[in-house]
Structure 1
Amino acid sequence: MPLRSVSVLVLEELAVFEFGVICEVFGTDRAAQGVPSFDFKVCGPEPGNALRTSVGAMITPEHGLDGLAGADLVAIPAIGASEYLPAALEAIRRAAESGSIILTVCSGAFVAGAAGLLDGRPCTTHWMHADELAARYPTAMVDRDVLFVDDGDLITSAGTAAGIDACLHLVRRELGSEVTNKIARSMVVAPQRDGGQRQYIDQPIPVRCSERFAPQLEWILTNLEKPHTVATLARRAQMSSRTFARRFVEETGRTPMQWVTDQRVLFARRLLEETALDVDGIAERSGFGSATLLRHHFRRVIGITPSDYRRRFACPGSEGAATA
């Protein structure tokens, strides 16, 4: 089905940026640039009645909920409310059943979940809300690491700017790269980003453990550059290797070497942000020993290479002539 008509749902506590993303991609007339125009509708519970957004501004939909019916795409931006109008959920369900593609941005996934559209399906949302989404809709397969999930007639995206990625992906899928590139160029954004949410997630060092075990973790964290094995760590804790490994999993939820590797990656990430050390120096300081091993584990945990991470997140003045 060609992508010609787009209806966006607005409700109370609408997030204006996420709504703006949908409007910018699908509601802006770029016919002069060779981009097909969409039949774009803003739909709410009552046409002409203003709704309060998450920042206190008001928005007035021109169309009612019946404007969702028959749309090729129904887009749901982030909605701050925890409960949703039953009539809106029913309109979303009917649109999905009639063949509309459903696209959500950020917490818009919760609206789709309330409409029953996430049951048994892969999806995502902002990493801050992923656990809540999984708890509220336990049969949904929530992916916390990606920028968006394309499950055919259901596309869900992560927080804020990831909505741009999802919208442009859908345009690329339905209308091709040429149209996508024109829209992206007009918006001054990349037509496709690499990596996922992992690079943006603040991953605190987990030290939620018993008072007796905490000193073991603290010692490891201050000695990441040293070689570690389960046997050496167990000897220092005055336990057998088997007992130490079992206790470690009980305390941290990870095996000893998984935990050590993760903490080395997080330390390397901080060095990339705050220092001008090259990748060999960072590998040595963080305990990986070689740049190759650092790159392998960094990409596995964070989702992008050390060099890409440094370009995006290094503090001003920290990069110098260093390369990662």
Structure 2
Amino acid sequence: MSGHSQFALLRQRRFLPFFIVQALGAFNDNVYRQAIIGLLFYLGVSDEQRSLYTTLAPAIFILPYFLFSALAGQIADKLEKSRLIVITTTMEIVIMSLAAIGFITENLPFLLVALFCTGMQSTLFGPVKYSVLPSVLKPEELTGGNGLVEMGTSISILSGMIIGGSVFLLAGSHGPIVAATAVIALAICGNLAARMIPRVDAGDPDLKINWNPLPESLVVLRMARQQKAVRNAILGVSWFWFVGTVLTSQLPNYALVNLGGEPKLYLFALALFSVGTGVGSLLCEKLSARTVEIGLVPLGAFGMTAF
């Protein structure tokens, strides 16, 4: 155990293709979202409109999670997991092709519609993302594997935000074409990586899916309320993403208007936030001694709240 390194998982096919897919997905989502914000600067919209769009964009992206997560969970249970990942990454290619049209035509409402569709695709990918690891990793590898995934996600978010936010600064009048090409190319790379993921059997292939998301969501919430560990896990994850979303959605205007900085200051603040998330994710395995240690969660939640 003393010679174990969680990074050894990155050399194994049971983990590496999945790691690449989820990292590329997070990277592309944030290239896209920040390129929309970059387009706002490029078009020279007012501060009020820019503030509206930068707040609206993450809300539109997250809305499908709220509406369709229970349905996505059922689909993830019913279908073989590597097949479902290929399906979701194929959806991403189609959605990003629509987004490319929005960039080239400089049509902001069209881009927001495509962003909602991206949120739907991410909602479908979410449950299978979190259910693959327990199926392919040993119990003592799970914390390290989760840490790598969270580290990859946070670094992908950071680099995606930096690159997406820099497209229009660096490419100038070619920005819309560069953004359109980038999001399609990244989606295709993710789909190719998804096809290398080994087969992972469905959790419940005989499940009858309830296509009405509202009653299914209520069933899941009631079940979570009855199981304290599940309820607390949901609250912890929700608080983490709530804080992260609020911070990252307000940073562009806050750095520019309140701190009197340039876009570089906003990117530096994002870098601090994302690197901190990545380092904390990697430390989880060391601090928990390679076990699932729930005691780290209150400590992390207190630290987030205090800082």
- What band does the TM-score fall into relative to the shorter chain? under 0.3
Bigger Cα Rg: 1
The structure richer in strand per residue is: 1
TM-score (norm 1): 0.22
TM-score, length-scaled by structure 2: 0.23
